[in-house]
Every structure is written in C-alpha cells, then in structure tokens.
Amino acid sequence: MAEKQNPATTGLVAITVAPRRAVHRAGKGEDGEPTLIAHGPGETLDVEPAEAKRLRELGFALPEPVAVATNDPAEA
C-alpha cells in the first residue's frame, strides 16, 4: 500500500468526510490501473488542487490548499 503523503509538503487539500457519508473517487492503483477509492465517515481524503477547484465549482465548501514552499525562483 502506498504511504500517505503529507498535505503540507504536497499542496494537496485535506477533506474530512462527513458523518454518514461516503466519498467515492477514481484513482490509479499501484499497478497504474484505474480503481475506485471509497472513504468512510471521519476519514481524511487528500485531493489535488485541480480536483479541489472542480469540487468547489460544484458547490462543495473545501479548505484552501496548503501553500507549498519552493526553491525555484521562477515559481515564487
């Protein structure tokens, strides 16, 4: 199983799944094949900033992404 990345270092948005809800999203397994990932109540789901933006556009209230430090002056 892949190790969970720290959102503070990856720029991911951490979402806590609401009680009595399940979040299903498509992902890729370790072999690169598409898979369905289900998250149960109270679990944390990390999503890429682009996916979080799409969810916000659909009306979900999500936290803003964590700023990612960079050493590249072009990205500053």
**25 is written with which tokens?**
């999203």
**20 is written with which tokens?**
């009595």
- Spans of all domains in the chain: 12-63
What is the model's pLDDT at position 56? 75
Residue 1 has pLDDT above 50, yes or no: no
What SS3 class is residue 48? coil
Put simply, whether the predicted model's pTM sits higher than 0.85 gets the answer no
How many C-beta atoms surround the C-beta of residue 12 within 10 A? 21
Task: Give φ, ψ of 37 to 5 degrees.
Answer: -110, 125
Residue 6 has pLDDT above 70, yes or no: no
pLDDT 10s digits, 7-63: 444 566 666 655 555 555 555 666 666 554 556 666 666 777 777 777 777 777 666
What is the model's pLDDT at position 32? 65
**How many CA atoms lie within 13 Å of 5's alpha carbon, on the beta-carbon side?**
12
